[in-house]
């Protein structure tokens, strides 16, 4: 019960616009250039919902959609795990700004968008998915925490799980107290059972030591350190290279999560 098969990958960050593009960068087919990120489409949302959603929701749904399309599976029965350090800080900023105005005019829409599971709710609505969903945070280690929750869910319920990790730069003035250097979102379709859709196989093991995997490319390494969702980049690097390898992700003070990746 410690194996997962990856069936789909979604990716969006400046210079990594989609998994085919990101894969080309990670295997060195072309250099990493942090150009402006294309707008994340939230095409699967109805127009009136799409208007109200924020950049955070659009980014999370965009990569989720890419991973599901690549895996070519029906998302309506797939449980989801969403991992993000801080969620939608744009909404938090607007609420806190409203709270210092006379009469404190907090927008009802901002308030119900302020919950951490807003992207999960929109994903469920867009895909008519009534399966379970869990939104979590583990600060800088949110990606590893999300992967462990997704793995535990996949094994316990013997089901595919869609993992989505995302974080965006915070707006000023919060940006001065929490630096996230660029938007980054990644999604993985994980299956505890092997199928013909398998792109790579993962074995997960908790480890006490913290020899965390890094990236050789200094700019990609800066991105890895600069966004909690990008802490998953060493895993993406291994998937892209299609060679057997080991990757260790930090799980904070509890040590590390070792991933053995097989093509």
Partner 1 sequence: MAIKPLAVAAYTVTNALGRGVAASLAALRRGESGLRPCDFEDAALSTWIGRVAGLEEEPLEDEFAPFDCRNNRLARLGLEQDRFGAAVRAARERHGADRIGIFIGTSTSGIGATEHAYRQRDPVTGRLPDHFDYQHTHNLFSAADFTRRWLALRGVALAVSTACSSSAKAFASAYRHMRAGFCDAAVVGGVDSLCLTTLYGFNALELASSQRCRPWDAGRDGLNVGEAAGFALLEWAEPDDARPLLLGYGESSDAHHMSAAHPEGTSAALAMQQALARAELRSEQVDYINLHGTATPSNDAAEDRAVLRVFGPDTPCSSTKGWTGHTLGAAGITEAAFVWLCLEHALIPGMLNTRRIDPNLGVGVVLDNRERPVRTALSNSFGFGGTNCSLLFGRRGA
> Cβ closer to partner 1: 28 or 173?
173
Residue 158: closest CA among 130, 184, 192, 134: 192
The rounded distance, in Å, linking the Cα atoms of 71 and 199 is 9
> Cβ closer to partner 1: 1 or 27?
1
* Least separation in angstroms between CB 169 and partner 1: 13
Record the tokens describing residue 23, joined without a space.
Answer: 């894969």
* Least separation in angstroms between CB 16 and partner 1: 25
What does 35-76 look like in DSSP terms, one character per residue?
PPPPPPP-TTS-HHHHHH--HHHHHHHHHHHHHHHHHT--GG
> Cβ closer to partner 1: 36 or 130?
130
* Least separation in angstroms between CB 17 and partner 1: 28
> Cβ closer to partner 1: 65 or 135?
135
Q: Is 22 exposed, middle or buried (0-12, 13-18, 19+ CB in 10 A)?
A: buried
* Least separation in angstroms between CB 2 and partner 1: 8
* Least separation in angstroms between CB 24 and partner 1: 33
Q: Give CA separation, 179 vs 41, 85, 89, 121, in Å.
A: 25, 12, 12, 27
The rounded distance, in Å, linking the Cα atoms of 48 and 53 is 9
**What length is written for the chain?**
263
Residue 173 DSSP one-character state: T
* Least separation in angstroms between CB 175 and partner 1: 10
Q: Rounded to a whole number, what is the largest CA-CA distance in the chain?
A: 60
* Site residues, partner 1 (CB under 8 A): 1-2, 85-87, 92, 95-100, 104-108, 110-118, 120-122, 124-125, 127-139, 142, 145, 148-149, 151-153, 155-156, 172-174, 176-178, 206, 208, 251-255
> Cβ closer to partner 1: 104 or 216?
104
> Cβ closer to partner 1: 7 or 167?
167
């Amino acid at each position: 019960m410690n194996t997962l098969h990856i069936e789909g990958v979604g990716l969006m960050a400046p210079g990594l616009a989609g998994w085919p593009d990101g894969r080309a960068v990670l295997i060195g087919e072309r250099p990493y250039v942090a150009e402006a990120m294309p707008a994340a489409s939230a095409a699967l949302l109805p127009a009136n919902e799409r208007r109200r959603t924020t950049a955070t929701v659009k980014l999370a749904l965009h990569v989720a959609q890419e991973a599901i399309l690549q895996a070519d599976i029906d998302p309506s029965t797939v449980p989801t795990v969403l991992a993000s350090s801080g969620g939608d800080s744009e909404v938090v900023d607007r609420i806190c700004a409203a709270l210092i105005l006379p009469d404190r005019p907090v927008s009802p829409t901002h308030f119900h968008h302020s919950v951490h599971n807003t992207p999960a709710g929109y994903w469920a609505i867009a895909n008519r998915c009534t399966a379970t969903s869990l939104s979590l945070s583990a600060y800088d280690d949110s990606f590893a925490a999300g992967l462990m929750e997704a793995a535990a869910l996949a094994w316990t319920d013997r089901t595919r799980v869609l993992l989505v990790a995302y974080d965006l730069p915070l707006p000023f003035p919060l940006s001065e107290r929490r630096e996230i250097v660029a938007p980054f979102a990644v999604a993985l379709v994980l299956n505890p059972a092997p199928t013909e859709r398998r792109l790579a196989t993962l074995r997960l093991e908790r480890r006490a030591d913290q020899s965390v995997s890094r990236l050789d490319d200094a700019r990609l390494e800066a991105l890895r350190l600069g966004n909690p969702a990008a802490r998953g980049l060493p895993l993406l690097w291994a998937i892209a290279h299609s060679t057997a390898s080991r990757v260790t992700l930090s799980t904070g003070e509890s040590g590390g999560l070792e991933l053995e990746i097989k093509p």
